[in-house]
Amino acid sequence: MIIELRRFFENDDIKQDFSYEFDTEDEIISSPVSVSGYVKNSTGIVSISAQAVFTVSTQCALCAKDIRKKLTVPVKHFLIDQLNDEDNDDYIVVENLSLNLDELVMEDIYLSFPTRFVCKADCKGLCPYCGNDLNENECGCKKPVDPRLAALQQLLSDDE
Ligand SMILES: [Zn+2]
Ligand SMILES: [Zn+2]
């Protein structure tokens, strides 16, 4: 959705609510992204405050279990029509006084994503040796001895 912002920059004390949804091509977002909030000018300061709600479907990075989660991401920014001296991500410079809200929402969604999704904070993952799901039970696999170390041990015992 494109929001035309001229009237928000030209009028103090104006507020408009919005609520809509858009589809995304993102591979792990499995629902439309539903966005609701408002744009306002309050005492000369233009801002957007909204939240994006959507469902993520992916697999645990550790144990590969399916994960399906409903997430809510806040989208809150001050909007300015020209650069100022502040170096701050909270400020969005809107060129041509129009805002592509879908793009802004997707940026905030990606910033909110963890580097990897896990099924639970303390997921134990899979055993690297037998593939057993360590959340289900222990498999008793021992870390194999490094073959170089084994060769060295062999050499040492040959000398005796
Ligand atoms: Zn897991
Ligand atoms: Zn194992």
* Domain range summary for the chain, segments of one domain joined by +: 2-123, 124-160
Please state the pTM of the whole predicted model.
Answer: 0.80
pLDDT digits (tens), the chain, 160 positions: 999 999 999 999 899 999 999 999 999 999 999 999 999 999 999 999 999 999 999 999 999 999 999 999 999 999 998 776 666 667 888 888 999 999 999 999 999 999 999 999 999 999 999 999 999 999 989 776 677 777 777 777 765 5
Proximal ligand: closest to the CA of 134:
2
Cα dihedral: 90, 96, 102, 105 (round 10): 0
Largest CA distance in the chain: 92
Residues within 5 Å of ion ligand 1, judged at the Cβ atom? 60, 62-63, 65, 119, 123
Helix (H) or strand (E) holding 6: helix 6-10
Ligand 2: distance of its center to the CA of 138 in Å? 7
